[in-house]
Amino acid sequence: MAVLEVHLLNNGYFTLPKSLLVYGKYFGETYQAALKPLLVVTEEEKILVDTGLSSLPERHRRFHKISQSPEQSLEAQLKMHGVKPDEIDIVINTHLHFDHCGNNALFKNAKFYVQAREIRYAYASDRFMQNAYIREFFDKELDYRLLKGKYKITDGVLILPTPGHSPGHQSVVVSVENTKYVYCGDAATLAECVERRNIPGVIYRADQALDSIDRLRAIRNAVYVYSHDNQQLSLPRRA
Ligand SMILES: [Zn+2]
């Protein structure tokens, strides 16, 4: 079914060392990272890509400060577009790091599309990646549909595997007429990841992360959405 509307939501911000966003750069700098799930409305479905964040468990609060006005809560952001959480049919999690699945529990009626590798790893991550996964965010009675690779959700909404930042990371391509909105997820945290081929600072496999960036760069008529770029708060213009 054709895509009718695409909206970039503004779910507030969280702080993190900027060196976690780009590999080998920005040591000692703190960055106010934007949280920006994407709402896609087709003729048949309401689709949400990533679920942002609302609060953090106590043990994580000293590492990240969340700044979110009431209007920036995910419920309020959806309401601005006339959508209630119960009405979301499909959630796509690019991956299960805490800042991308923090509100999964809100979407009781949704099918959740996640790569099988990602969910497996989320439950049993390596020591160096454990802080990125918060089990209480994803380990819920939700309808997870496990994917193995590329997957077409519907006409105009395609899931593309982009591993590297995490083992089962995926990006989403939303086609509206001739434009392809490429929701990079953390395959490209900031514009420089795509523009200068800089891989993310949080990294599971660097070689795969660079391949994934190149896969995104090869998409024609692409308009990229960078997961945490706080200068890009609305959908860029069409190609
Ligand atoms: Zn992230």
User: Where does the pLDDT of residue 2 fall: very low under 50, low under 70, confident under 90, or very high at 90 and above?
Assistant: confident
pLDDT at 37: 98
Quote the CA–CA distance of 200 and 166 in Å, as a whole number: 10
State in Å: Cα 111 to ligand 1 middle. Answer: 21
State in Å: Cα 3 to ligand 1 middle. Answer: 25
User: Average pLDDT for residues 84-95, to the nearest whole number?
Assistant: 98
pLDDT digits (tens, 9 = 90+) for 96-148: 999 999 999 999 999 999 999 999 999 999 999 999 999 999 999 999 999 99
Which domains are seen in the chain, by residue range? 3-225 (3.60.15.10)
pLDDT digits (tens, 9 = 90+) for 30-53: 999 999 999 999 999 999 999 999
State in Å: Cα 33 to ligand 1 middle. Answer: 9
State in Å: Cα 186 to ligand 1 middle. Answer: 5
Whether the per-residue pLDDT at 154 is higher than 70: the answer is yes
pLDDT at 137: 98
User: Where does the pLDDT of residue 239 fall: very low under 50, low under 70, confident under 90, or very high at 90 and above?
Assistant: low
Q: What is the DSSP string of the chain?
A: --EEEEEE----EEEEEGGGTSTT--TT-EEEEE---EEEEESS-EEEE----S---HHHHTT--EE--GGGSHHHHHHTTT--GGG--EEE-S--SHHHHTTGGG-TT-EEEEEHHHHHHHHS--GGGGGG--HHHH-SS-EEEEE-S-EEEETTEEEEE--SSSTT-EEEEEEETTEEEEE-GGGSSSHHHHHS-PPPSS-S-HHHHHHHHHHHHT-TTEEEE-SS-TT--SPPPP-
Q: Which of 83, 122, 72 is nearest to 101 (CA)?
A: 122
State in Å: Cα 100 to ligand 1 middle. Answer: 6
State in Å: Cα 97 to ligand 1 middle. Answer: 6
State in Å: Cα 44 to ligand 1 middle. Answer: 29
pLDDT digits (tens, 9 = 90+) for 158-210: 999 999 999 999 999 999 999 999 999 999 999 999 999 999 999 999 999 99
pLDDT at 41: 97
State in Å: Cα 92 to ligand 1 middle. Answer: 14
State in Å: Cα 179 to ligand 1 middle. Answer: 25
State in Å: Cα 34 to ligand 1 middle. Answer: 9
State in Å: Cα 65 to ligand 1 middle. Answer: 14
User: Where does the pLDDT of residue 236 fall: very low under 50, low under 70, confident under 90, or very high at 90 and above?
Assistant: confident
State in Å: Cα 228 to ligand 1 middle. Answer: 7
pLDDT digits (tens, 9 = 90+) for 53-73: 999 999 999 999 999 999 999
State in Å: Cα 177 to ligand 1 middle. Answer: 29
State in Å: Cα 147 to ligand 1 middle. Answer: 20
Quote the mean pLDDT of the chain.
96
pLDDT at 64: 95
